[in-house]
Homo-oligomer: A and B are copies of this chain.
Amino acid sequence: MDPFMHAAIAEAQLGLAEGGIPIGSVIVHQGRIIGRGHNRRVQQGSAILHGEMDAFENAGRQPSSVYHDAVLYTTLSPCSMCSGAILLYGIPKVIVGENLTFMGEEALLRSRGVDVEVLQDATCIELMRGFIASRPELWNEDIGVESDGDA
Spell out A's residues near B (CB within 8 Å): 41, 45-48, 53, 56-57, 59-65, 67-68, 79-85, 87-90, 105, 108, 140-141, 143-147, 150-151
Contact = CB atoms under 8 A, between A and B. Distances in A.
A81 B85 CA distance: 4
Contact of A79 (B41, B57, B84, B151): B84
A146 to B, nearest CB: 4
B47 A60 contact: yes
Given A47-B61, A80-B83, 20 more contacts: A45-B60, A46-B57, A47-B59, A47-B60, A47-B89, A48-B48, A48-B53, A63-B141, A63-B146, A64-B141, A64-B147, A64-B150, A65-B150, A68-B146, A80-B87, A81-B85, A81-B88, A84-B87, A84-B105, A89-B144
B84 A151 contact: no
22 contacts: A41-B61, A45-B61, A46-B61, A47-B56, A47-B62, A48-B56, A48-B57, A61-B141, A63-B150, A63-B151, A64-B140, A64-B141, A64-B147, A64-B150, A65-B150, A80-B83, A80-B85, A81-B84, A81-B85, A84-B105, A88-B144, A89-B144
